[in-house]
Structure 1
Amino acid sequence: MPESQIAVLGECVADAFTTGSPEEGELALRVLPGGGPANTAVALARLGTPTRFLGRISGDVFGGLFRARLGASGVNLSGCVPASEPSTLAVATLDAEGQARYSFHADGTADWQWRREELDPARLGGASCLHAGSLTLVRPPGAARVEEFLEAAGRMATISIDPNVRAALVDPAVYQERMLRWCALADVVKLSDDDLAHIHPDQDVQRVCDTWHGAGVRLVVVTRGSLGALVSVDGARAEVPASAADVVDTVGAGDSFTAGVLHLLGERGLLGGRLDALDLEAAVDAALFAARVAARTCSVAGANPPWAHELSREDLAV
């Protein structure tokens, strides 16, 4: 069976972590390459999935950082657009549990300036799956072009979406208004319980899953941190436990989880259409594998997902 190529559409973000103390009058920034979709592309490629990144990458110093990281991880960058606008910057702070909180510097940056001619379906390059996520889905002016591209790509490829809600930057009402439309476009929707709380506050998760299935999406996965994940295939559901991890921080864990799900679905030959052959057992296997990949990411600093050769036999046993 030929390997599935997965294309990932979305932003690259310069993640700046602070050191020092404001009270001492000085902060230093340690900048690492990040951005949810870019992290997912890196994780997929490191797992061994042929991966194509579709992004608008700036010519500034951060753009060079993004290209170096993606390229070193084995990601195909031939579908990227060279951009004249600056890169997006996010300043991160970590709480006592290693959870990251971000402040964004994103106005007028390269990631959101998609033009219709830059998103011709040929840019997919024959990929059997297109994953899109995060701020690229909602930031104008490019968000409308991205939705058009997802709709066109759905005639040729499996569509995966991770909304990755950034409530500090985008009003959750924007996600609430668009979520059913995304579910009509997508075959896979993965999101966190925090995302769900922003989109459907105080609503039962199983009822929300059924609403989204009714809109068209076959597979919904809701990650719950240390509590594991809920997997729902057309209303058939299962709970998947989290994998044990010595947590350094959780940066990139959700993106690695997404990569793990898509990687295993690709290995099983399930990508390339509307997931007609997917059943709950296969979806649970994908989520179990994804949980192990996410745990490995949590065990090191930053969004640094594991390479396939770093995974143990136990990690791969699904």
Structure 2
Amino acid sequence: MSPQPAGRTVTVLGECVADVFSGPPTGAGPGAGPDALTLRALPGGGPANTAVALARLGTPTRFAGRLSRDVFGDLFRTRLARSGVDLSACVTAAEASTLALADVREGGQATYSFHAEGTADWQWSDRELAAATTGGGVCLHTGSLALVREPGGPRVEEHLAAARPHTTISLDPNVRPLLVEPAVYRGRLARWCGLADILRLSEEDLAHLLPGTDPAEACDTLHAAGAPLVVVTLGERGALLSLDGVRTTVPGRPVRVADTVGAGDSFTAGFLHHLATLGRLGGRLDGLTLDEAADAAAYAALVAAHTCRTPGADPPWSHDLSPRRA
């Protein structure tokens, strides 16, 4: 896909991960016996999911990632491009792709084991990042493992600081304790708050980052560290928003859940998309009102609910959210 106009574009920086789902063997022939296991790989990764959802909603979106030459890298490229994402900021990497083995339990909640050592996503060089984040458009969104995995994490932080004077910064910590100790996230949280205009966290993230702190009190702590807009997603209960300490909540959308994979990423995409349509991205959220933020969160909850309807991270297209289909 050709590069999109920087003045309207949201750049998403981070990883692509293959979500591998297990199931019983099917059919006949080799590998069909009781000692076999069927694996189904779907493209995922928090930042990549957010980029896909943003583009499908109609926001010009550029993805900055390191995509392997392996079969999973091809899968990632196909999904991003078919969703309308601009891949001009991507690096073709020699390393293997990151894999996450997903175990989906009753109720649709997924847990993961990761295969991520030495994989493509974390090997950013300063030169690659400088090229990827140049002309970042109205917003630069990142988070998840890209911020904490070595050697790239500290370099990503440095480039966020360099981009901040020119663009809105959105962060989603998306804590993955199986891969990185929560203490590593906690040690960097204050710096992230100083960089971020928008900090989106789940209730589970808060339990790791600020143990024993209720969401409202956590918002005050994050504001004091520098984040002006904090959004805490509460699953089916909706979301809590805090804009410079003034708070409101929005309800969730009832939905029959296939699984929750990618729901938080879709929420972030819906939130940024709505703010972009209001013209609120591009700076320090000057003029944003709490009512506008609440409207954005209500729309984001709708996008997340649609994502929960289908297996894997398969966010809706804008036409899926028409009044007749919502």
TM bracket, shorter-chain basis: over 0.9
- Matched with 1:271 is 281
In the alignment, the residues of structure 1 paired with residue 197 and residue 100 of structure 2 have an alpha-carbon distance, to the nearest angstrom, of 30
**Alpha carbons of structure 1 residues 156 and 115: separation in structure 2 relative to 1, 3 Å:** same
* Alignment-mate amino acid for residue 168 of structure 1: L
Question: Which of 57, 65, 79 is the matching residue for 1:55?
Answer: 65
Shift of 1:3: 7.0
Partner of 1:81: 91
TM alignment of 1:9-20, pairs within 5 A = 9-20=13-24
Identity in percent? 61
- The Cα of 1:207 is off from its aligned counterpart by 1.8
Partner of 1:103: 113
| Separation (CA, whole Å) in 2 of partners of 1:239 and 1:314 | 26
Partners of 1:57 and 1:83 within 8 A in 2: yes
Could you tell me which runs of 5 or more consecutive residues in structure 2 were left unpaired when the two chains were aligned.
1-5, 26-32
SS at match of 2:8: coil
- Paired letter, 1:66: F
Deviation of 1:313 (Å):
2.7
Please state how far the C-alpha of 1:179 moved relative to its aligned partner: 0.7
Count of aligned pairs: 314
Q: Deviations over 1:147-206 (max 9, x none)?
A: 001101101100000000001111000111111110000000001000100111111222
**Structure 1 unaligned runs (5+)?**
none
| Cα-Cα RMSD | 1.6
SS in structure 1 of the partner of residue 24 of structure 2: strand
Distance in 1 between residues matched to 2:236 and 2:62, nearest whole Å:
31
- Given the alignment, which residue of 100, 117, 121 partners 2:127? 117
**2:145 aligned to 129, 135, 142, which one?**
135
- Cα distance in 2, alignment partners of residues 246 and 305 from structure 1: 15
In structure 2, C-alpha distance between the alignment counterparts of 1:3 and 1:63, rounded to whole Å:
29
Tell me what 2:317 maps to.
307
CA distance in 1, matches of 2:233, 2:218: 14
* CA contact 1:229–1:287 (8 Å) conserved in 2: yes
Cα distance, 1:123 vs structure 2? 3.2
**Offset at residue 124 of structure 1 (A):** 3.7
The equivalent position to 1:245 in structure 2, one of 248, 255, 258, is 255
Change (3 A) 1:105 1:95: same
| 2:160 equivalent to 1:159 | no
Structure 1, residues 242-264: CA drift from partner, whole Å, max 9, x if none? 01111111111000000000000
Counterpart Cα distance in 1 of 2:131 and 2:240: 33
Match for residue 240 of structure 2? 230
Question: Structure 1 counterpart of 2:255, which letter?
Answer: A
Structure 1 residues 174, 126: CA separation in 2 closer, same or farther (over 3 Å shift)? closer
Partner of 1:30: 40
Name the TM-score, length of structure 1 as normaliser.
0.96
Residue 262 of structure 1 corresponds to which residue in structure 2?
272
Tell me which residue corresponds to 1:149.
159
TM-score normalised to structure 2 length: 0.93
SS of corresponding position for 1:24: coil
In 1, are the aligned partners of 2:7 and 2:137 still within 8 Å (CA)? Answer: no
Residues 81-100 of structure 1 deviation map (CA, whole Å, 9 limit, x = unaligned)? 11000000010010101011
SS in 2 for 1:32: strand
User: In structure 2, what is the Cα distance between the partners aligned to 1:152 and 1:241?
Assistant: 36
Residue 191 (structure 2) pairs with residue 187 (structure 1): no
Instruction: Tell me if the contact between 2:90 and 2:132 (Cα under 8 Å) persists in the aligned partners.
Output: no
Distance in 1, matches of 2:58 and 2:325, equals 15
SS at match of 1:155: helix
- Helix, strand or coil for the counterpart of 2:59? coil
For the residues of structure 2 that align with 1:124 and 1:43, how far apart are their CA atoms?
22
2:307: which partner in 1? 297
Deviations 1:250-295 (A, max 9, x none): 1110000000000000000000001011111111011000000000
Separation in 2 of the partners of 1:161 and 1:119? 17
Decide whether the 8 Å contact of 1:85 with 1:109 is kept in 2: yes
Contact 1:289 1:315 in 2 (8 A): no
Residue number among 201, 210, 221 corresponding to 2:220 in the alignment: 210
- Superposition deviation, residue 73 in structure 1: 0.2
Residues 188, 121 of structure 1: CA spacing in aligned structure 2 closer, same or farther, 3 A cutoff?
farther
Conserved 8 A contact 2:133-2:159:
no
